[in-house]
Each structure stands twice: as structure tokens, then as C-alpha cells.
Amino acid sequence: MIFAKQALTSTGWVENLRLTLSQGRISSLGTGETAQDGDTQVDVLLPALANLHSHSFQRAMAGMTEYRKAGKDSFWTWRDLMYRFTKQLSPEQIEAIAALVFMEMQEAGYASVGEFHYLHHQPDGTPYDDLGELSGRIAAAASDTGIGLTHLPVLYSYGGAGQVPLESGQARFGNSLDRFNSLVERARDVVGALPDDCQVGIAPHSLRATCPADLAAVLQVHSVGPVHIHIAEQPKEVADISEWLGARPVEWLLQNADVSQNWCLIHATHMTPTETQDMARSKAVAGLCPITEANLGDGPFNGPTYLEHGGRFGVGSDSNVLISLTEELRTLEYSQRLRDVARNVMVVGEGSIGETLYCGAARGGAQALHRGGGEIAVGELADLVAIDSRDTALCALQSHQLLDGLCFAARDRVVTDLWSAGRHSVKAGRHVQRDRIVANYRSAMASLMSAL
């Protein structure tokens, strides 16, 4: 049982909520109640967000790519360093880094993660004896932390638009269609040993890393479950795809695949107004990663047009250069304000920006990771976060202002408790396994840095 002084449920703000959990789901809700002995008592209870896009290993590179070299640094020079880095990572290090990342996500208020997993093989491209070795490492990190995992093995077959062969830095990512299908089967085995809310989807990496025939084939084989794809992150990618396929990436995908609510289009950054409207109508989720998109210089998302047409969105921490839910949401809004030279952009008509961002990302993230409705209601997964409204950033605010305070004025330290499908992993602001996970990470990084 959880007792919350205030809570945001599917019907709005309520006071003195008592909530029963059963088998990872919310089985009853009662308002106007009093706390009972044995209840976990919290201040403000919210639906916890899904972090819909992560490459966990990239967390270990944070701070190593912020030095300007002669010439213009870009996404593509960042990617070169990332490739050199991935050549050194061992399975043990990958697991230790993922555990740290998942722990940090939970402490920031995320209950679940979409791990877009493309490190599959040994550094020279030879598969491990167990084809799913590294999927197993991700699953072990999820098990260790209790986060809800939607594991997304990546199909990555080409080094660039037009079926360019993989380069050596991409050897660990590569699979033929057949081997990819075997890998997904193996991933289903390892994720099948996790709690029921954990699951497997697929992720064709991008249009540039696959080809139309392979994409159609893989979608036919894996016709249920989430489908995630990087779509239009960089202007060069849009130009390359346009030249090769005769249409811009989002335009081409909407014309050539049955894009629906199973889909999540990561970095739908560079879209024309028509693409923006058509994508909004598809009911797919736009997977926005504002901190990473700012860090990599990708550009801002076309938020106003997308929301006007009912577009769905969620947020992800992608490169994990910084894992912060509050920072992710405010960076999204601030990117819009800086472009439009305006305030309060990410809402249609009138309303609270914090509520639009938070509740929109809760619903969209849950949809993208197949975790239900993303709200507090009977029958939904118990993905819950508690925050402390006595924090100085929030103490003067009324209920209807709390999400604005959370998004624009607070830091992640306001998170006191977090449940992933009922697993109570964060208590009093700390992950219950924090000390051990941090010690493992430090030792993994020491061995990694001595090898670089």
C-alpha cells in the first residue's frame, strides 16, 4: 500500500490517496483516506516516465567529447570517437555501465527504459559464442536495478545511405537479416527471464543503416511489439536519404511502411511542415532527446505544428551525457523558445507547459515502450514516482503549479521514491543498490581507461 498526500491520477489532482499494488499493477485507488500502519507514505505521487531512448554504454564517454579540435566539430566527429571507444568495451564493462545508467535513470524519476541496443558482437565483428551475450548483459543490468526494460535489438547492416558496406568501427553492430532474427529470438529468451513488464521490440537503426527490402522483411517477421528507428537527426542524413530514395526520411517512411502507434521515430528533428502533420496523424510517438540533440548540435524539433495536429511524444536520454528528467523536459521547451523568440511554446491554446510536457511524455513514453497508458489508474502498471513538495523549488506552489515547478525550477533531487512495475527501487532519494552499483562502475571504468 502507498499513501500519498497529493497525487495526479487519470482524473486529475486528488488528496489523501491510498493505492494498492498487486503483481506490478495498480489494483485499487481510494481518495480522502488516512494513512495506515505499514503504508509507504509519500508527499506527491505522479506517474513515472519512460525513458524511451538510451544507448547506455555511451554514458561512459560523457565529458570526453567536449574539446574543440581544429576545424568544425560535428555529430560525425563525435561518432568517430564513439566508434573508437566501443572497440574497447568488454561484456563485463557494458553490464556495469548499463547498471549505473539504469540506476541514475530511476533516481531521476524514470521507471523504464527503451534500450536501443546495437553493440552485439566482439570488437572485430565475430559473434560471441552466445549470440545474445550482450543482450544478456543489458538484461542483467535491468534485473540488478529493477528498471522496466523494453529491449530493442538493432538491425544495422550498412555503413551509410545506399547500402555502403560497414566500416571497421561498425563491425560490432552488423548483422544480416537471418542473424538478426536469431538474435531477436535469443534476446526474447534472456528478457523472458525478467519480470513480465519487460519485453523485446525491434529497432531498424535508421534508413541509412538498412535498405528498403530488409526493412520490409524485418517488419513482416516481427509484426507485433514496438518498432523504433532513428529517422531524421542530421541535415546530412536527410540529404543522403533524399538523394538515394528520392524522398526525405520521414516522408519516405510514412509512404513505405505501415507507421502506426507501435512505432517510435527517434529524432524526428528535420521535418517539413507536411511531414510534421503526417507524422502527427500516424499516432506514432516522436522520441525526443533534447539534451543529446542540443549536445550534438542536431537542431530543434518542430513542436508547435506537431502538437497542433495531435502529435504524440516522449523523451529519452539517448547518449546519456546527462541523465536528468527535469533537465530533459525544460531543454525541450527552451529549444522552442530560443528558436521562436517566444515564451510558453509547447502547449496548444492555453495551459500549463509543465503539465503538457510531463503528462504528454508520460503517455507517449508508455505507448512507445508498450507499458500501457502512462497514468495512475486501476489496472495500469505501477510505474510511480514520488516527489517532495517541501523542497524550496516547490514549497510555495499549489497542486496545479507543481509540474511547472518540477519542469522549470526543480532538480532531480526532489525525487524521493520510485517504483518500476511495483518494484520499489528508490527510497529516500537513493537507489537501494546504489553503493554496489557505483563500486562496480568505478572498477569497470578504471580497467577501461587503462586499456584506452
From the list 197, 245, 252, 247, the residue with the least C-alpha distance to 229 is: 252
Work out whether 237 is an interface residue with Zn ion (CB under 5 A): no
Count CB atoms within 10 A of the CB of residue 259.
21
Which lies closer to Zn ion via its Cβ, residue 318 or residue 412? 318
**Active-site entry in 318, 404, 412, 417:** 318
318 is catalytic: yes
CB of 321 to Zn ion, least distance (A): 12
3-state secondary structure of 363: helix
Question: 128 and 121 in contact (C-beta within 8 Å)?
Answer: yes
From the list 346, 434, 440, the residue with the least C-alpha distance to 145 is: 434
Which lies closer to Zn ion via its Cβ, residue 55 or residue 186? 55
CB of 183 to Zn ion, least distance (A): 19
From the list 154, 160, 152, the residue with the least C-alpha distance to 175 is: 154
On the CB side of 74, CA atoms within 13 Å amount to: 7
Which lies closer to Zn ion via its Cβ, residue 104 or residue 318? 318
**Active-site entry in 55, 120, 267, 270:** 267
Which lies closer to Zn ion via its Cβ, residue 292 or residue 425? 292
Question: 232 and 293 in contact (C-beta within 8 Å)?
Answer: no
Q: Mark residues 318-347: x for contact with Zn ion by CB under 5 A, - for none.
A: x-----------------------------
Which lies closer to Zn ion via its Cβ, residue 209 or residue 387? 209
151 is catalytic: no
Query: Cβ-closest residue to Zn ion?
Result: 318
Q: Is 67 exposed, middle or buried (0-12, 13-18, 19+ CB in 10 A)?
A: exposed
End-to-end CA distance of the chain: 49
Please list every residue from 269 through 328 that binds Zn ion, using CB under 5 A: 318
Q: Helical H runs in 6-154?
A: 75-86, 91-108, 133-145
Element (H, E) at 445: helix 434-451
Which lies closer to Zn ion via its Cβ, residue 9 or residue 86? 86
Residue 111 to residue 383: CA distance in whole angstroms: 6
- The b/e string for 220-243 (b: 16+ C-beta within 10 A; e otherwise) is eebeeebbbbbbbbbeebbebbee
Which lies closer to Zn ion via its Cβ, residue 322 or residue 397? 322
- The b/e string for 148-187 (b: 16+ C-beta within 10 A; e otherwise) is bbbbbbbbbbbbbbebeebeebbbbbbbebebbbebbebb
Q: How many residues belong to the site for Zn ion (CB under 5 A)? A: 1
Q: Helical H runs in 207-320?
A: 212-221, 235-245, 249-256, 273-281, 290-295, 303-308
Apex CA 93: angle with CA 91 and CA 94, to 5°?
A: 65
- Annotated catalytic sites, by residue? 267, 318
Residues that bind Zn ion in the complex, under the rule CB under 5 A: 318
